[in-house]
Amino acid sequence: EVQLVESGGGLVQAGGSLRLSCAASGFTFDDYVIGWFRQAPGKEREGVSCSSSSDRSTYYADSVKGRFTISSDNAKNTVYLQMNSLKHEDTAIYYCAATPHLPGVWHRTSGYDFWGQGTQVTVSS
């Protein structure tokens, strides 16, 4: 069974940092595209970042460029999202997602087949 499990969320002050982890199982990890999404109350789920190991490419939403970094450890079947200089508007539930092929639009929610349960990130103002 394909499973994605996020961890690392929590409460942090503005300007602080968090590192999220997404542990994957049930599929060949390095053959998949892994994306990070987030959803704040009353807002649509939006793409934050994604990584394609096969294509050796990464993508970031404009709102997080220069602050967030996606990385992976294929031996551990884990993808990380390092979040620095956090802002109050980064507050959301963060999800990781996987798809075997990079979508035409990388941040399109419907382009991903598997999803984790989410982890809450709260940034105090």
CB atoms under 10 Å from CB of 76, counted, come to 12
- Are 9 and 120 in contact, with CB atoms under 8 Å apart? yes
Distances (CA, A) of 53 to 33, 87, 122: 7, 29, 29
Mean of pLDDT values over 98-122: 94
At 75, is the pLDDT very low, low, confident or very high (cuts 50, 70, 90)? confident
User: Which tens digits make up the pLDDT trace of 77-95?
Assistant: 999 999 999 999 999 999 9
Q: Of 115, 120, 118, give the one whose Cα is nearest residue 90.
A: 120
pLDDT confidence of residue 31: 82
Cα torsion through 64, 45, 93, 67, rounded to 10: 0
User: Which tens digits make up the pLDDT trace of 18-31?
Assistant: 999 999 999 877 78
Determine phi and psi for 99, rounding to 5 degrees: -150, 145
At 51, is the pLDDT very low, low, confident or very high (cuts 50, 70, 90)? very high
- The dihedral built from the CA positions of residue 109, 32, 65 and 76, taken in this order, carries a sign that is positive
